[in-house]
Amino acid sequence: MNTHNATKSPFEFGMLNKADQEKKHAFHELRVGHKKLNALMEDLMLLLQPHSESNIIAVTGATGTGKSTMARKLLIKLADQFAPELATDKSVIPLVMVEAYANGERQHSFKPLFQDIRDQLMEPGVNRKTSIEIIDGRMILTPSRRDTVASLRQIVENALKYRKTRVCVIDEAYHLVRFCRETAVMDTLKSLANTTGVKLVLIGSFDLFDLVAGHGQIARRISILNLDRYHLELAEDRVEFKGIIHELMKEWPCEDVPNFESISYELLDATFGCVGLLKSFMLDAASMQLRNHGRWDNSFLKKSAKSMKLRNIIGAEIEVGEAKVRGCLFGESSWDASLLKQICSKMEEKNNAR
């Protein structure tokens, strides 16, 4: 048995010291605002206005486009918007965010999701409360320790109303497809939104489209947004992507800053124009450089880039996903450019005639 390695300090294996760990963490936490993210946020905030007919908003996007960054930015923006109300009424919880996490099972129920929403709403004395459930015309009392999905739903509905909650964000929402049939899931969410007046924001991968593409009643009340990636073939996208790289380089955790701007075209291609994938690439490269005592080595480029097989998997997923949502997104009118031009022309004629 070789015991030589057991006596070595962790840093002899290339682990980072505390100072470098803090630099890496700071770079990890860095969020760069950019054109596509800002455009999506503008549409999302418009749809979250009280009198918008869309009470379910789905936000999709390719892996690594920055949906997590978008969710964080949304929470900050909404918190600022609701701040005056919170200052005058301490009982109000206008915004909650939960995750429809996978639990390893092929199927699970709404129970964990309702429990998470209830906990976020900080319903007082919930452990001592008895839920009332109507079954076959009879009123059934259910102790909290034996809460059913129906009784939890009632608690959540009451709490959402009492707390005057306006927005409920469900991250990783594509996991909801494991709950039951897609139409049943969406019927439940639609009913929850209708009875409480809450706007539901579902965030997830392109698989989320399979969940929300139900039937006419759902289509009427839902809007679908897509956090688009940057495209190699578009000149304006290449310029914007290079600007994102520039912003990340300004916060590089080492004094020796690699010239990533000079290979922005190649990085755009390697990361499919996904800002999150770019950030992952640069974070890996930064870790290697920090481990190398701040000295840059070009070998870090190869190690940070995805292998061809993994890249092909990601590329195929993006291609299928973008095709799936194409033509269904908020702002993609059923009127083509020619017909829209005619309609606008008619409106202008009417205005001039007044």
Residues 144, 129, single domain; the answer is yes
Quickly state the pLDDT bin for 12 (edges 50, 70, 90).
very low
Domain assignment present for 349: no
Residues 217, 80, single domain; the answer is yes
Residues 71, 173, single domain; the answer is yes
pLDDT at residue 219 tops 80: no
Domain assignment present for 17: no
Residues 95, 163, single domain; the answer is yes
Question: pLDDT tens digits, residue range 100-114?
Answer: 876 666 556 788 889
Residues 249, 321, single domain; the answer is yes
pLDDT for the residue 190: 87
pLDDT at residue 302 tops 50: yes
Domain assignment present for 242: yes
Q: Identify any residues that bridge with 141 across adjacent strands, giving them in sequence order.
A: 132
Do residues 178 and 111 touch, judged by C-beta distance below 8 A?
no
Domain assignment present for 337: no
Domain assignment present for 97: yes
Query: Worst-scoring range by mean pLDDT, 82-96, 205-219, 231-245?
Result: 205-219
Distance of CA 239 to the CA centre of its chain: 25
The residue among 207, 227, 247 that closes a domain is 227
The residue among 227, 256, 279 that closes a domain is 227
The residue among 175, 204, 227 that closes a domain is 227
Residues 245, 121, single domain; the answer is no
Domain assignment present for 190: yes
Give every CB contact of residue 179 below 8 A, 6+ residues apart in sequence: 107, 108, 109, 110, 185
Q: Which one of 194-198, 218-222, 332-336 scores highest in mean pLDDT?
A: 194-198
Q: Which one of 137-141, 145-149, 219-223, 267-271 scores highest in mean pLDDT?
A: 267-271
pLDDT at residue 50 tops 90: no
Q: Which one of 42-51, 246-255, 324-333, 337-346 scores highest in mean pLDDT?
A: 246-255
Question: pLDDT tens digits, residue range 149-176?
Answer: 888 888 999 999 999 999 999 998 888 8
Residues 183, 117, single domain; the answer is yes
Domain assignment present for 344: no
pLDDT for the residue 1: 43
Residues 268, 251, single domain; the answer is yes
pLDDT at residue 189 tops 70: yes
What is the number of structural domains in the chain? Answer: 2
Task: Sort residue 350 into left (φ over 0), alpha (ψ -120 to 50) or beta.
Answer: alpha
Q: What is the CATH number of the domain that holds 192?
A: 3.40.50.300
Quickly state the pLDDT bin for 10 (edges 50, 70, 90).
very low
Can you give the residue range of the structural domain that contains 298?
A: 233-325
pLDDT for the residue 216: 61
Mean pLDDT of the chain: 84
Domain assignment present for 41: no
pLDDT for the residue 4: 47
Nearest to 116, CA basis, from 95, 89, 96: 96
Residues 197, 169, single domain; the answer is yes
Do residues 232 and 271 touch, judged by C-beta distance below 8 A?
no
Residues 182, 303, single domain; the answer is no
Residues 64, 210, single domain; the answer is yes
Residues 113, 73, single domain; the answer is yes
